[in-house]
Amino acid sequence: MSEQAKKAVVLLSGGLDSSTVLAIAKQQGYQCYALSFDYGQRSLAELNAASAVAKQLGAVEHKLVRFDMGEIGGSALTDHSISVPEQMEEGVPVTYVPARNTVFLSMALGLAEVVEAEAIFIGVNAVDYSGYPDCRPAFIEAFQAMANLATKAGVEGRQIRIETPLMSLTKAQIIDHGITAGLDYGLTVSCYQADEQGRACRVCDSCRLRAQGFVDAGVEDPTRYQD
């Protein structure tokens, strides 16, 4: 691996989408710095999945930033007194974590400056985006404009590009890309309430979108379920 290799920071939750993004970044020839967050979410199984995926795909580093977003609260994914819904809802869902992608991209921006990465990869998707405002193309464009002004790199005329390779793909297309790029989806965990072994509940929004994706892609579902 050349010292001149281009570098990317890849936001990696250990779920289907972000793991596919890591596979795509790697396939595009980037030295990948995977970045995961432990912000008090329910599914620590996801973090174990992130480690396994980073290892499988040969990320040069896998960094974990811990922070306590429970102090901020306001979402079913960080506030344990709100239950995870089993039905799809209208509008912005209660699983929305306030400003989550903004916070994650900001930390990725910091890491990108430090390791001199030229790109940040994030698995946002406008097709299956489920009503999260910070998954829309307009949000990403505005973040890019802000990032160009926020950083030492920007001051010095180097843009850190925000890359969203999944933006316009269906779940089935995402799975096709991941398989082509060599990702083992059996390692990934998407479930909002996976158990400690990373086995999925089968009933939450995330499980159902994922399962339908494997059906639509015509690929056998490698997900490990609790039942």
Please report whether residue 126 would count as binding a second copy according to CB under 8 A: no
Applying CB under 8 A, which part among 50-58, 138-146, 186-194, 219-227 lies near a second copy? Answer: 138-146
Bridge partners (DSSP) of residue 225 are: 200
Hey, what are 14's tokens? 């250990």
For residue 83, give every residue at least 6 positions away whose Cβ sits within 8 Å of its Cβ, in sequence order, or none: 76
| Binding track, positions 74-103, relative to a second copy; x by CB under 8 A | x-----------------x---xxxxxxxx
Considering only residues 21 through 80, tell me which ones interact with a second copy, judged by CB under 8 A: 63-69, 71-74
Q: Which of 168, 62, 146 is nearest to 101 (CA)?
A: 146
Residue 189 burial class via C-beta count within 10 angstroms: exposed 0-12, middle 13-18, buried 19 and up:
buried
Query: Between residues 100 and 177, which has the closer beta carbon with respect to a second copy?
Result: 100
CA distance 8 to 127: 24
201 is in an annotated binding site: yes
130 is in an annotated binding site: no
Closest approach of a second copy to the CB of residue 6, in Å: 19
Applying CB under 8 A, which part among 52-60, 82-90, 144-152, 206-214 lies near a second copy? Answer: 144-152
